Amino acid sequence: MMKKTVSLILTICIILTLIISGPYTFAESTEDNITFEMSSEWARAWLLISMENNLVSENSLNNLKEMISREEFCELVMKLYTGLGGKDFPINKMLPFSDTTNIEVIRAYHLGIVEGTGEGVFNPHGHVTREQMAVMLHRLMDSLGIYPITDMQYLDFADESDISEYAKSSIQLLYKVGVINGLGNQLIAPKSHATHEEAIVMSARLFSEFEDFERVVSDELFDLALNRLMPTDKNYMFSPLSIKMALAMAANGANGATLEEILKTLNISDLATFNDLALNLIQTYSENESVKLNIANSIWLNKDHHYEEVSFAESYQNVIEEYYEGYSQVVDNANAVDAINGWVNEKTNGKIPELIDNSEFLAFLANAIYFKGDWAVQFDEMLTADDTFTDRNNTESQMQFMNQTGYFEYFEENGLQMVKLPYKDGKTSMYIALTDDRQIDLTQKVTEMASKRVQLSIPKFEVKFEVELSDMLKEMGIVTAFKEYDADLKGMFTEISENTFISSVVHKTFINVDEFGTEAAAVTGISVGVTSMPTDEPVVFKADRPFTYIIRDDVNNEILFMGEFAFAE
């Protein structure tokens, strides 16, 4: 419907322009001094859309046929960011680049849309290629939570070999949604420098395609709220993503207040949209070759737990299989524990060997996440040395500390220190923060981080954690789902006479951090029961006291794992 509407509007715009303005004048305003002779015929309607929606600068309009620079394209992209509803955010005073102070470049950098061309260098006057534009626009979409689902197969362009590896997925996506077009004969011309006119048209197409796109509301508030409820007397780690996916699977079988409370607590505005996002994340992570990040889901039905012939509803099972790539299995009292624990052990690579110890459930929903990533810059084992860690009780213990000095993204304010340690894929990172205040939303500080020379010292550590989440989730707002006679989860099953409710939510995690990288795993299980049943002096970042850590997907703004190390183990 959107594409048909846009096509109609474009046709009307062209006709009205010709009738009202005549064959040469592009706009009534002589201030812009824009004429049809300055623009290509194929671009005119898109130029009008850009002007009407404040997506273009006067500089670009006056230089349509000139090559657009990196700095100028950043300005264009940030206008598009605002036009598509992107929120403003504070900028750290520490500048990421030495060769530009352009505020739009800095904003784009903090959003992860652009990168430098070297250590602290942006090259603002360098020209932008078509493939670079595609990558930046793709990153813009990610920053706004725009994840379109396309069913088109991989397109093999005639000049496929000319496309850089890092740009292939972006070009494929933008081509499929109509933002970037070929040049005929299946050519994409990835290395060709783009003009202002081409850049404006691509920006306008993206705006028209996704102006009314329904986004999933940011879920980082859920992560923060759950973190505040975690224990203070032990080390902990949890996976917000694992918990959300397990609860979202439950939501797909819920109705009424049960459904509403789950969605509100998870901050999901539309369940169907979240289902699309879940599938996108599962498939995207499975394709990451530099970092191993696997998400697995399963639903289990215990045929011995109920006297009626109950099975999963076909519609529910289809949603789990299609959007969560979920595995469905019927078990009995005799094999349920071994079957589920075997699945958990396999999906977490042996790091979490078991999740349950009894078969007292009608249905069991499980999510497992396994992560293994090498640091982009690994620590030298020769520099690892014993040092003192002071825990929350002021008890001192000797631990092995990893050490290195180099340039890292860094933030410091009012006693808070935070450093970013990227993994090899460049898309996921660990953030380590020294702070005693759990009320701080650390994710809001990510956009304020800037490159800084840091003398880094952090302990090697391993944490195993287990928690029953029911009380925490009730405190956060999921209440009805746990009420034996009020919950409504009947959408999961074929006709069943008695009521169904969530009887427990178990969450187990594992993490190991060493000189080479991080290995982490998490599993969430939901039981459903039935009623009655060197140039600068480096800043010093030494994590020798309790610290919070986050493993974050920086592209999709998704927190994979979050925890606190407060006691030497």
How does pLDDT run across 344-366, given as a tens digit for each residue? Answer: 999 999 999 999 999 888 999 99
For residue 366, the model assigns a pLDDT of 95
**Is residue 3 over pLDDT 60?**
no
For residue 35, the model assigns a pLDDT of 46
Instruction: Write b or e for each residue in 225-237: b if 16 or more Cβ atoms lie within 10 A of its Cβ, otherwise e.
Output: bbbeebeeeebbb
For residue 91, the model assigns a pLDDT of 67
For residue 92, the model assigns a pLDDT of 59
pLDDT in tens, 488-503: 998 999 877 788 899 9
pLDDT in tens, 159-174: 788 888 888 888 888 8
**Is residue 2 over pLDDT 90?**
no
For residue 19, the model assigns a pLDDT of 27
Average pLDDT score over the chain:
84
**Is residue 9 over pLDDT 70?**
no
Closest by CA position to 365, among listed 507, 229, 238? 507
**Is residue 414 over pLDDT 70?**
yes
Beta carbons within 10 angstroms of residue 416's beta carbon: 15
Residue 34 binned pLDDT confidence (cut-offs 50, 70, 90): very low
Please tell me the distance from the alpha carbon of residue 170 to that of residue 346, in angstroms, as a whole number: 33
**Is residue 236 over pLDDT 80?**
yes
Q: How many residues does the chain have?
A: 569
Percentage of the chain modeled with pLDDT above 70:
87
pLDDT in tens, 85-94: 887 766 655 6
Boundaries of every domain in the chain: 2-210, 220-374+462-531
What does residue 207 show for φ and ψ, rounded to 5 degrees? -60, -45
pLDDT in tens, 68-89: 999 999 999 999 999 988 877 6
More confident residue, 94 or 60: 60
Residue 541 binned pLDDT confidence (cut-offs 50, 70, 90): confident
220-374+462-531 has CATH 3.30.497.10 classification: yes
For residue 294, the model assigns a pLDDT of 94
**Is residue 5 over pLDDT 50?**
no
For residue 239, the model assigns a pLDDT of 95
Closest by CA position to 39, among listed 131, 21, 4? 21
Residue 307 binned pLDDT confidence (cut-offs 50, 70, 90): low
> What's the rounded mean pLDDT across residues 119-138?
91
**Is residue 216 over pLDDT 80?**
no
Residue 147 binned pLDDT confidence (cut-offs 50, 70, 90): low
For residue 22, the model assigns a pLDDT of 34
**Is residue 32 over pLDDT 60?**
no
> What's the rounded mean pLDDT across residues 243-263?
94
> What's the rounded mean pLDDT across residues 212-236?
75
**Is residue 257 over pLDDT 60?**
yes
For residue 87, the model assigns a pLDDT of 77
For residue 185, the model assigns a pLDDT of 66
More confident residue, 257 or 532: 257
Q: Is 245 left (phi over 0), alpha (psi -120 to 50) or beta?
A: alpha
**Is residue 389 over pLDDT 70?**
yes
Please tell me the distance from the alpha carbon of residue 377 to that of residue 403, in angstroms, as a whole number: 12
HEC states along 469-489?
CHHHHHHHCCCHHHCCCCCCC
For residue 418, the model assigns a pLDDT of 94
Percentage of the chain modeled with pLDDT above 90:
51
Residue 531 binned pLDDT confidence (cut-offs 50, 70, 90): low
**Is residue 371 over pLDDT 50?**
yes
**DSSP structure string for 206-259:** HHHHHTT--PPPP-HHHHHHHHHTS-SSS-EEE-HHHHHHHHHHHHTT--HHHH
pLDDT in tens, 443-471: 878 878 888 899 999 999 999 999 999 99
Contacts of range 312-320, beta carbons closer than 8 Å, 24 or more positions apart: 312/363, 312/492, 312/493, 312/494, 313/253, 313/491, 313/492, 313/493, 313/494, 315/491, 316/252, 316/253, 316/491, 316/492, 316/493, 319/252, 319/275, 320/249, 320/252
For residue 37, the model assigns a pLDDT of 61
